[in-house]
Amino acid sequence: MAEIELGAAPNPLGLIARAGLGALPVPVPGLSARRSADVSGDVLVLERVDTDLGTLAAFSRLCGYTLERAVPLTWPHIPAFALQMAILTDPRFPFPAVGLVHISNAITQHRPILTSERLTLRVWAEPIVDHPRGRAVPIRTEARVGDELVWEETAINLRIGRRNDAATAPEVASSEGYAPAARWRLPADLGRRYAAVAGDYNPIHLHPLSARALGFPRAIAHGFWTKSRALAQLQGRLPGAVGVEVAFKRPILLPATVRYVESLGEDAGIGFGVRAIDNAPHLDGYVTY
């Protein structure tokens, strides 16, 4: 496992282009289609990451977070996203990035991170595992202040394929039956707005036409936006050390009106979810502390 220090964050737009080319059925010179099964290779490291207050403000506004002294719980994902894309679009990565489905995302914050703190970000892929619906690639991200681990994330990406009935996958409790706490009206251009802030220009989020080309009837909301929007509902109610796990269910087709649901009953944590008006699940989540 080699640590590769990057001088600057890669340009996510270039990586998206690389992802697009990698998805082509014909090999592109210089972007060899030779894909090995081994992704548990490199750790991409980006040091001295200062919080860009303009981007933070735009992200906060878009997700409904208040701009406070500490960054929102889901924020470090944003500066780390380009590194995650660099791993997913690496020619040695076994699957094309286009077609991978972000199925779950777990974040642990060990303490609040102040906007003034400088982060070191480390991103790597863990070994591929069987999943009931195909093969799953966990992408791990760590944020440190100096040597102190302050935040970590595991994003599970699914390559849908042969069913593995023997395989198991971690589950998040269903939000069915939770009490409706809020109604969100999501505009048609939400995906474009989020892409402009977070750098995730995956075409399925941008426009009905680009989404249709990839098999969706309309553009779909970013899963990570949905998770962030849900946690913005809980901002101020969570302690500084907290874990939150979500499972992404059905995509939200934009524009949409959806319900945020919540279960505050238990001592150990808070269950929450995002569901369609007809109660179809979009996201199930659980906060522990």
The least CB distance from residue 236 to other proteins, in Å, is: 5
**Please, is 202 exposed, middle or buried when counting C-beta atoms within 10 Å of its C-beta (0-12, 13-18, 19+)?**
buried
How many CB atoms lie under 10 A from the CB of residue 64?
16
The overall longest dimension of the chain from CA atoms, in Å, is 57
The least CB distance from residue 206 to other proteins, in Å, is: 24
Nearer to other proteins, 58 or 276 (CB): 58
Nearer to other proteins, 108 or 235 (CB): 235
The least CB distance from residue 63 to other proteins, in Å, is: 13
The least CB distance from residue 214 to other proteins, in Å, is: 34
The least CB distance from residue 51 to other proteins, in Å, is: 9
The least CB distance from residue 57 to other proteins, in Å, is: 3
3-class state of residue 283 by DSSP: strand
Which of 199, 222, 206, 225 minimizes the C-alpha distance to 10? Answer: 199
Nearer to other proteins, 45 or 70 (CB): 70
What is the helix (H) or strand (E) element at residue 273, kind and residue range?
A: strand 269-276
Nearer to other proteins, 62 or 172 (CB): 62
Q: Which residue has the tokens 């009935």?
A: 165
Residues that bind other proteins (CB under 8 A): 53-54, 57-58, 60-61, 66-69, 115-116, 235-237
Nearer to other proteins, 149 or 238 (CB): 238
* Residues 132-165: b if buried by 16+ CB within 10 A, e if exposed: ebbbbbbbbbbbbbeeeebbbbbbbbbbeeeebe
Q: What residues have CB less than 8 Å from 272, skipping those under 6 apart? A: 175, 178, 230, 233, 234, 260, 261, 262, 263, 285, 286, 287
Nearer to other proteins, 156 or 261 (CB): 261
